[in-house]
A and B are shown apart, each in its own frame.
Chain A
Amino acid sequence: MRPDDRQSDRVPLLKQRWEVQGGNFITAGNVSTKIKDLLKEIQISPDLIRRLAICCYEAEMNIVMYAGKGSMTLEIHSSELVLIVEDQGQGIPDINLAMQEGWSTATEAMREKGFGAGMGLPNIKRNADKFDLTSKLGQGTTLRVSITLT
């Protein structure tokens, strides 16, 4: 790859950012639906949309459940779809533990509604081609996933 090519791929063809309100279970999922509709409109293949929709929903629910507020940014590059999820929540003390299927810090009230099964982050990782999760205690969490366009 020539340096110019690499540079051009860093600038997305399209970039859009949405705010996500923490604690609001009524509107939870709305941003994911908007992202999915946008991808459909630009005719991304259904399988890739399905995978990114799962990543979006799980990430959005994590903001709703654990952070006061956050944002989701979609970048469309010529070779990949990138989702960046940032929140100003409490942070994740142990990322390895959080990645274990079934591990969850959800409250009893959340579990009764079917949330907090401890499947969210593993679901995201399973559906992404690249997965990067960083967190600082008391400051927040940043998740970056990408799906290669085929």
Chain B
Amino acid sequence: MTMLKQIIGSLELKVFCCKELTERPVVGGYCGDLLSDVMANTRAGEIWITIQAHPNIAAVASLKELTAILLANGREPLPETLQKAEAEKIPLLGSPLSAFELAFRLNRLLATNANRAEAHPS
């Protein structure tokens, strides 16, 4: 199982809020900037990679029980977004990398951890 904290360290992500909530498992990821697409296709426990930085992303993440939102391309959250993410207890992360690069690195990390777990079951 990959924890959010490990992903933050490994991908050198900035934590905008909810640093105390990073001991959460991550089951996968999803890239998308259309909110209805994210509502329709994400699963609980995933990280959502997006360039949308307005407050409504926190509502979507909360309703779908996503583990965190990762803002790509160096996007910064609006103050209202930070406020709403904190209220909804959704960690808001950031990186200067593109969504493509972040998805690749995240997928590689999740796959490596899954392979390790398979090779050395606890």
Contacts of B119 in A (CB 8 A): none
| B33 contacts A114, C-beta separation under 8 Å | yes
A25: interface (CB < 8 Å): yes
Contact status B88-A33, CB under 8 Å? yes
CB atoms of B40 and A29 under 8 A apart: no
Do the beta carbons of A123 and B33 come within 8 Å of each other? no
Chain B nearest Cβ from A4, distance in angstroms:
38
The A17-76 residues at the B interface (CB cut-off 8 A) are 25-26, 28-30, 32-33, 36, 46, 50, 53-54, 56-58, 61
Which of A30, A46, A117, A119: most chain B Cβ within 10 A? A117
Task: Determine the residue in chain B with the shortest Cβ distance to A31.
Answer: B59
Per the bound structure, the CA–CA distance linking A34 and B34 in Å amounts to 23
Residue B21 at the chain A interface, CB threshold 8 Å: no
Measured between beta carbons, the chain A residues less than 8 angstroms from B88 are: 33
**Interface residues of chain B: helix, strand, loop or mixed (majority):** helix
Category for how many chain B residues contact A: 20 to 34
Residue of B nearest to A126 (CB): B40
Stretch from B12-20, B60-68, B94-102, B105-113 that touches the partner: B60-68
* Given A26-B80, A29-B60, A53-B64, A58 and B55 contact (CB-CB distance below 8 Å): no
Count of interface residues, chain A, beta-carbon cutoff 8 Å: 24
Q: Mark B21-50, 1 if CB is under 8 A from A, else 0.
A: 000000000000111110110001000001
User: Given that A57-B39, A123-B40 are contacting pairs, would A29 and B34 also be in contact in the complex, using a CB cutoff of 8 Å?
Assistant: no
Question: Does A115 reach chain B (CB closer than 8 Å)?
Answer: yes
Contacts of B52 in A (CB 8 A): 113-114
Q: Is B115 in contact with chain A by the CB < 8 A criterion?
A: no
Given contacts A114-B33, A117-B37, A123-B39, contact A26 B63 (CB under 8 A): no
Inter-subunit contact B80/A53 (CB<8 Å): no
- 9 residue pairs from A and B, CB less than 8 Å apart: A26-B80, A33-B62, A50-B64, A61-B35, A114-B52, A115-B36, A117-B34, A117-B37, A123-B36
Which residues of A are in contact with B by a Cβ distance under 8 Å?
25-26, 28-30, 32-33, 36, 46, 50, 53-54, 56-58, 61, 113-115, 117, 119-120, 123, 126
User: 10 additional contacts, CB 8 Å, given A25-B55, A36-B63, A113-B56?
Assistant: A26-B80, A26-B84, A33-B63, A46-B44, A53-B63, A56-B63, A114-B34, A114-B50, A115-B36, A119-B40
What 6 A-B pairs come out closest when comparing CB atoms? A29-B59, A119-B36, A117-B34, A114-B35, A117-B36, A53-B63
